[in-house]
Amino acid sequence: MTAPHETNPLGPAVVMAERPPRARGRRGIVGVVAVSVVLVGALAFGLRQGPSATKDPPRDVPTFDGKWIRFSPTFASRAGLVFTKVETGSLSPQINVVGTVTFDPERVAVIGARIPGRLKRIVKFQGDPVKHADTLAEIESADLGHAQSGVLTARAHAEAAAANEARETHLADVKVSSKRDAELARATSEAAKAELVAAEQRVRALAGESAGALGLLRVTSPIAGKVIESHVSLGQSVEPSATLFRVADLSRVWVVLAVFERELPHIRANDAVELSPQTNRMLVLKGTVDHVGDVIHLETRSAEVRVVVANPEGLLRPGQSVSARIQTKTTPAQGFLVPRDAVTTIDGKTTMFVNKGDGAVEPRTVTPGAQDGTRVEIVTGLSEGEEVATKGVFALKSEIFR
């Protein structure tokens, strides 16, 4: 028999809770999926709404319409734009260039051995001051010893020939011997003297001394100055082509400047020049133009200008870079003058920004002329009364032409 249907005293809720586990799992999955769909939709909605809600305002930068550059008052204030009216006047050209310190060729000496030998003693080292004819080193040389022995032999022959000449002359005077014997003795004596002179000359050609120790060569300095290079070691073998020492007098030096061809016509010999080392602009030394180069280098379109500078304290060193300001003596330039800060370069052309009013400037190509330390002459491209940007030029250029 079938059991009679019993009523659940706990009610329908308990019946639902006791449904099979499979039904409960299916409903849970459906709930999770529903929540995920809602979250994804909300996220997608937020992403669609986010950019429009946080959109950055447009940048306040100049614009270029192909002719003029236009900018807002805010940009002008931020960039510090300042305009200056073009003025007329004159200036004495001052040319600013760079150069390199070098030796005065008359005050530098390269010293070698002239003959092969072995270094016996070193007297002077790099950095030592020297006087004219001071000994720098001593070299033992067989060649020099042979030449010096030749001098001794020639001197002995010359002395013997001179004594024989005197004896034969006396005998001829007293009629003991013939005049012919006296003449032969005189000729032999003259030949011996010539051989002695030749032998002494050979020693001098080897830079040796006839009366010095045999085979010992004194390497001496031909000028006064300082040893700036030394390539010697005790006992080393030396050859005639070897450079042993380099001595220089740095109390006067040359400065070789690289001057562009457009500025060369303004420079003359004896123009005053102020020079400062690149490492110390506060130090100013004075010199004069000694020579203006005759050849333009094709690669740099510049020529060398030589400046002679007194350097008694040794403040300039060969190889050092310097800045130079050449005070030219040419006729002062007449024309439109602008501050140097107003001039810039765009696409290789000299350019200025001319004020057009109402927040607009015109980038205009100009032709520069002479310049001094602060101003530049503008030959073509400007008119009297126009205003040009003198501050904030870089900001205009970098925003439009970068």
314: DSSP letter: -
What is residue 23's predicted lDDT score, i.e. its pLDDT? 45
Cα-Cα-Cα-Cα dihedral sign, residues 259, 263, 269, 273: negative
Residue with tokens 């030959």: 379
Neighbours of 130 (CB within 10 A): 21
Helix/strand/coil for 29: helix
What is residue 354's predicted lDDT score, i.e. its pLDDT? 94
How does DSSP assign 100-152, residue by residue? EEEE-GGGEEEEE-SS-EEEEEE---TT-EE-TT-EEEEEE-HHHHHHHHHHH
Residues 375 and 332: their CA atoms lie apart, in Å, by: 13
End-to-end Cα, the chain, rounded Å: 100
Q: What is the pTM of this model?
A: 0.58
Strand-pairing partners, residue 122, are: 137
Where on the phi/psi map is residue 33: left (φ > 0), alpha (ψ -120 to 50), or beta? alpha
Residues 157 and 163: their CA atoms lie apart, in Å, by: 10
Q: At 50, list the tokens.
A: 């986010």
Q: What are phi and psi of 217, to 5 degrees?
A: -100, 125
Q: Which amino acid belongs to residue 5?
A: H
Nearest to 188 by CA among 207, 163, 224: 163
What is residue 10's predicted lDDT score, i.e. its pLDDT? 39
What is residue 206's predicted lDDT score, i.e. its pLDDT? 81
Asked if 390 contacts 112 with a C-beta cutoff of 8 angstroms, the reply is no
What is residue 8's predicted lDDT score, i.e. its pLDDT? 44
Residues 155 and 150: their CA atoms lie apart, in Å, by: 8
Neighbours of 377 (CB within 10 A): 21
Low-confidence ranges of the chain (pLDDT < 50): 1-25, 30, 32-35, 37-40, 42-47, 52-53
What is residue 32's predicted lDDT score, i.e. its pLDDT? 46
Residues 233 and 392: their CA atoms lie apart, in Å, by: 62
Residues 274 and 186: their CA atoms lie apart, in Å, by: 69
Residues 78 and 71: their CA atoms lie apart, in Å, by: 11
What is residue 151's predicted lDDT score, i.e. its pLDDT? 86
Residues 278 and 286: their CA atoms lie apart, in Å, by: 15
Q: At 42, list the tokens.
A: 């909300």
β-pairing verdict for 63-64 and 69-70? antiparallel
Q: Which H helix or E strand runs over 220? A: strand 216-220
What is residue 375's predicted lDDT score, i.e. its pLDDT? 82
